[in-house]
Amino acid sequence: MNLKFLLPVAIFAAIALAFAVGLTLDAQRLPSVLIDKLAPQFELPPIAAIDDGEDSGEDTGKPYGGGLSSRNLVGRVTLVNIFASWCVPCRVEHPQLMSLSRDHGITIFGINQKDTPQDARAWLARHDDPYRAIGADSTGRVSIDWGVYGVPETFVMDATGRIRYRHVGPIMPRDVTRTLLPLIAELGS
């Protein structure tokens, strides 16, 4: 039996398969090289106090005293969230962060990227504050050490301070239920 006629069919099938895989890949989702590695060493100052001559008591009332350092990440499963007041998708994910922190008792640390203290404080006062502690990355240099290329990004850290998962872009409600909560439960057990 001559199967030569199958050759064009086979070539077509191969090309169709290549396109089917290639076109459904999301080029925006880049793998992090830091997965399963220790978080980069860093020491970030807190969001600076605003010295506008008025009583600072009218701020959110939250102490932003300590800033954030890589030492804070050890001891329990945590989330590290890169955010900024100028970042529109951060508003989209904010309710999910509030819910994770409030309803599920998950420790979330914030890295406030390239923000002014005024804007950052105003943003937190308006939208509420899900963070246990916040470091101000005014130059964006620490974000680069984390391999961050857009805001928001969120990292799931295990209790030893290793990066186990990276979420690029805003956290949507289904990301919480499908990915984050199961992973955090798994890492915590």
Partner 1 sequence: MKVVLETLRVAPTALKVVPTIFLVVLFMFLALGLGTERAGAVEPSEVLSDPLLEARAREISQGLRCLVCQNQTIDDSNAGLAKDLRILVRERLLAGDSNQQVVTFVTDRYGDFVLLKPPLKTGTVLLWFGPLLILLFGGVALARFYINRHRQEKAESSGAKPLSGAEKKRLQSLLTEDAVKDTVEGNSP
One residue of 149, 160, 177, 185 binding partner 1 per CB under 8 A: 149
Restricting to residues 103-122, which ones interact with partner 1 according to CB under 8 A?
Answer: 114
33 contributes a contact to partner 1 by CB under 8 A: yes
- Cα–Cα distance between 82 and 148 in angstroms, integer? 8
How many other β-carbons are positioned within 10 Å of the β-carbon of residue 183?
16
- Cα–Cα distance between 52 and 117 in angstroms, integer? 11
31 contributes a contact to partner 1 by CB under 8 A: yes
Tell me the window of 54-62, 90-98, 116-124, 142-150 that interacts with partner 1 (CB under 8 A): 142-150
CB 47 within 8 A of CB 125: no
8 contributes a contact to partner 1 by CB under 8 A: no
23 contributes a contact to partner 1 by CB under 8 A: no
Shortest distance (Å) from residue 44 CB to partner 1: 16
- Cα–Cα distance between 106 and 96 in angstroms, integer? 12
34 contributes a contact to partner 1 by CB under 8 A: yes
Total count of residues recorded for the chain: 189
Q: What angle do CA 123, 119, 172 make, to 5 degrees?
A: 40
Residue ranges binding partner 1 (CB under 8 A): 27-28, 30-34, 114, 139-141, 144-147, 149-150
